[in-house]
Every structure is written in C-alpha cells, then in structure tokens.
C-alpha cells in the first residue's frame, strides 16, 4: 500500500515550496523536516542578509543626501555627527522581517493545504520495500524528493573552531558592528556582507584563494565588483590561504599568508555543501560526485524513484533556482519523467553595489561553443540618462549573441541589474532574438532602457561587421542621390 504520491525530505525553504506546489498538482504529500531550527537557519541566511543589505543601502542614501543639497538644521553639523546606528533596534527589525518571511510557508499553512508535516530525523530503507522511516513511522511513496538544507563549507584552518567564527546563517548573533572584520572566502554572500559591513563602519579584509572574488562569474564583471569594493576601503587579499586562527584575550588573530591580522570577528563565506550523510542513500545505490549527488537532466538520482533539487548537485545555492528545480522534479516525480531542466534561461544575481546579474552563457563559454560565430557588445551605464540622474554610472551591460541574432547570454554590472536581467532571461526562454529587445520601447528615464539601448548597439555592431551590406547600402544611397539630381 502506497501512502503518498511524493515524500519530500526537507528542512529548507525549497522543501516547503515544493510541498505547497505538490498540493496544487493534486498530489498526496508528506514533508519531513529534521528540526525547525534547520529551516530557520536557511531563512536567516537569505532573509537576514537581504534585510542587512537594506540597512547598508540606507546608509549610502544618507551619505548621498548632502550631495543633493540636504543639510542639518544646526550650524557646522553634518549627518555623520547627527545619526548613529542602534544595532539592537536594527536587529529587532531584521528579525521581524525574517519572521514574516517564515510565515509564508509555515507548517500550519502547509497543514491547511493538506500536507502531512512531520518533524524528525529519518532515513531510507530498501527492505522489504523502498520507504522513508522517521519517528518509527514508515512512509511509503511512489517517489521521493530531496530538498534538504545546505550547510556552510568550513575550511580546515588550524584553531578556527576554537577561535570562533560566524557564517551567513549565524550573522544574527552579532551583538555590535565589529570595528575590524575578516571574511574568509569570496562567494556571493561574502561579497555582499563585506560591502554592507564596510558601509556600517567596519574595516573589512577579505581573504580568498583565487585571483579574484566570485570565481564562477565572468572575470570582467567580477573584476569591476572587486574594484568597487577596494575603492571603499575593503582590503582584498587574493591567492592567499588562511593558515591559522587564534584568540588572544578579546581579539581574534588570523595568519593569512605572511600577514598576521587582528580582528574583532571572523565570517566564513566559502560556499555551501549538502547535508545528506544521515539519509542512508548509499545503501540504496545512490551515486555521488564527492559530497554532491549525481543527477540527470530530469533531476533524478541514480535511483529512478528519488529526485533532488537545490544545490545538492553543486553550483550556486539560489532560492529561485532551487524552486525552479523543485518544479521540474515534481512534475517528473508525479506524472511522467519527461521534463528536463534548462538552466540556459535562468538568471541569478549578486546583490553587491553595483549589482551583478547574469543569464545564459558567459563570453568564454559562448566562444568555446560557437567560435567566431558570436558577437559581443558592451554598453556602459555612463551613457544611460537614468544612471546619470541617479549618479550611478559605474557598470556595463554585456550582450552575447550568435551572428544570426540568437541571444546566448548577458552579464550586467550596474544598478538594478537583478531586475533588468529578467527581460533577457525571458527572451532566451521564448526563443526571441536581439531584434525583439531592440524594438521594445522602454519608458524614459528608467534603468530598463539599458536593455534596449544595448540591443540596438549590438545590431549596429553586427551591421558594421557585414561589409557587403554596408557597401550595398552606400552604393544605393549614392545612386539615389545621383538619380535625384
């Protein structure tokens, strides 16, 4: 007797999203969460970080207000002297934001939808039949979806555990803004936190193994973000290993290469890794690539009845990407396994300032696949009216297309990049060409004009490369002028 159409092994926001979606697909579903704090940690990571960025952006607006003509009412007094951050009050506000986010898919709301929510640590069994056992209860299902929470990768550094550190999930434990802060790693969360704390007054040092931050991104885009971080005083030590950490009295020390750095707090931002070691997957013959699952394009593991979503197979851990994968996996699990995941039109962004957003192929990937059949064009925000008005002229819009006008990818570094990338993502998914973007009128003045402006420039660049067409048009106009006379 099968109890459920799908059992979701969760502990993440994506697990709850998948459970709610499964009910909409008319499935009987159970959601197993190991413990509520696991889910809360994931919410803290995204919700708290986003709220903290909002605080940092407010600081930037306050600093800019004087440039716009705002001034304090008292003589010889500036905004830096009249305003200060009440960290305790700020934390209370951020905690309220996260609490509201958690309520969107609370266990009570899921139960009202018909989801059987079960809290407890469980594991798979294969005998006498495939099932998931939790709290001495055996859950039998046609299919299973793994949507477990990830955990921070903690590098093996001598003394780090004894010295103490924070991650994006535990940043809420800070009792004050650290005067000196070290961030180990250059992943998106580390980049965002570095800039935010620098705005809040911390002296920030980033230590990364690679030659630039955001190692998975377009080097040109990542390089511009890195330059912006360094311009606001963030020290970035590239190609540097942290060898040791220790605590001396009230201060923490780290040995980064040949430098000894004294800090008040350490944040580890070296990426995420899955939590799958307690599920007994190996006994079912589920294959791994190191600590990550081996999945096919239908998001099946090597056991055809077990699916997975999120960063369980590696890559960036973005909520919208995990939810997209959950949608594909559920349709395959509940109906027929005929739906394939397509990352080509899925955008993502790093919420630095300026933002970095990307979709599709990078320039390097496109050249590797299509060779000389691609054209790449960059337009710059310094040419955009809205950017000039807002004094946010740093950055560029890079559009990568095939010679025939097919959109292969885009990278944007600039204000509102996370919003602008969506139109390119939609065009890629719908098979629209660059000409369609160029012909779509955009409201003036908006940042959205950048997509149309770049598409028009790309088409002009394509035209200039076609010498036969240029010669023909030039001869045509020459003939018409001669004929008219």
- Give the tens place of pLDDT for each residue, 186-205: 889 899 999 999 999 999 99
The average pLDDT across 100-123 equals 90
Checking if the pLDDT of 273 tops 50, the result is: yes
- pTM equals 0.88
State the average pLDDT over residues 128-149: 94
The pair of structure tokens assigned to 242 is: 């942290």
- 187 is written with which tokens? 């992943």
Main-chain dihedrals φ then ψ at residue 305, nearest 5 degrees: -95, 0
Confidence (pLDDT) at 462: 87
Query: Could you give phi then psi for residue 57, rounded to 5 degrees?
Result: -65, -35
Beta carbons within 10 angstroms of residue 166's beta carbon = 20
Residue 99 has phi, psi (to 5 degrees) of -60, -40
User: Cα separations (Å) of 475 from 60, 369, 467, 471?
Assistant: 55, 36, 12, 6
What are the pLDDT digits (tens) for 197-229?
999 999 999 999 988 899 888 889 999 999 999
What mean pLDDT do residues 380-406 have?
Answer: 95
Lowest-confidence pick of 30-44, 69-83, 297-311, 352-366: 69-83
| Residue 75, pLDDT score | 52
């Amino acid at each position: 007797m099968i109890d459920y159409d799908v059992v979701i092994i969760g502990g993440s926001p994506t697990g709850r999203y998948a459970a709610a979606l499964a009910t909409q697909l008319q499935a009987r579903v159970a959601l197993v969460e190991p413990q509520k704090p696991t889910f809360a940690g994931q919410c803290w990571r995204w919700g708290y970080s986003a709220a903290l960025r909002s605080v940092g952006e407010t600081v930037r607006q306050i600093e800019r207000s004087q440039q716009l003509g705002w001034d304090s009412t008292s003589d010889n007094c500036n905004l830096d002297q009249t305003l200060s951050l009440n960290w305790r009050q700020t934390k209370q506000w951020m905690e309220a934001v996260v609490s509201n986010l958690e309520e969107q898919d609370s266990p009570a709301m899921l139960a009202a939808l018909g989801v059987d929510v079960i809290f407890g640590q469980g594991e798979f069994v294969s005998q006498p039949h495939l099932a998931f056992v939790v709290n001495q209860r055996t859950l039998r299902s046609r299919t299973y979806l793994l949507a477990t929470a990830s955990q921070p990768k903690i590098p093996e550094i001598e003394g780090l555990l004894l010295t103490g550190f924070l991650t994006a999930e535990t940043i809420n434990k800070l009792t004050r803004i650290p005067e000196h802060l070290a961030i180990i790693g250059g992943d998106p969360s580390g980049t965002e936190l570095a800039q935010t704390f620098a705005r809040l007054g911390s002296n920030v040092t980033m230590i990364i193994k690679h030659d630039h931050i955001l190692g998975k991104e377009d080097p040109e885009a990542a390089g511009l973000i890195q330059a912006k971080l360094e311009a606001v005083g963030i020290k970035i030590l590239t190609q540097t290993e942290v060898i040791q950490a220790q605590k001396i009295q009230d201060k923490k020390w780290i040995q980064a290469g040949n430098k000894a750095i004294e800090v008040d707090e350490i944040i580890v931002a070296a990426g995420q890794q899955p939590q799958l070691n307690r599920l007994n997957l190996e006994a079912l013959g589920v294959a791994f690539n190191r600590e990550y699952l081996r999945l096919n394009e239908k998001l099946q593991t090597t056991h055809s009845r077990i699916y997975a979503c999120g960063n369980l197979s590696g890559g960036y851990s973005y909520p919208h990407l995990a939810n997209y994968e959950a949608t594909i996996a559920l349709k395959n699990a509940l109906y027929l396994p005929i739906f394939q995941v397509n990352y080509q039109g899925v955008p993502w962004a790093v919420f630095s300032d300026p933002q970095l957003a990307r979709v599709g192929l990078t320039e390097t990937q496109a050249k590797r696949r299509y060779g000389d059949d691609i054209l790449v064009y960059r337009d710059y925000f310094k040419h955009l009216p809205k950017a000039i008005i807002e004094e946010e002229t740093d950055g560029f819009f890079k559009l990568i297309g095939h010679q025939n006008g097919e959109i292969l990818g885009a990278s944007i570094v600039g204000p509102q990049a996370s919003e602008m990338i969506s139109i390119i993502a939609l065009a890629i998914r719908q098979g629209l060409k660059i000409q369609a973007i160029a012909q779509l009128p955009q409201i003036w003045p908006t940042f959205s004009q950048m997509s149309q402006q770049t598409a028009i420039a790309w088409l002009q660049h394509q035209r200039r490369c076609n010498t036969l067409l240029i010669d023909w048009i030039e001869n045509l106009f020459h003939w018409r002028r001669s004929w008219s006379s």
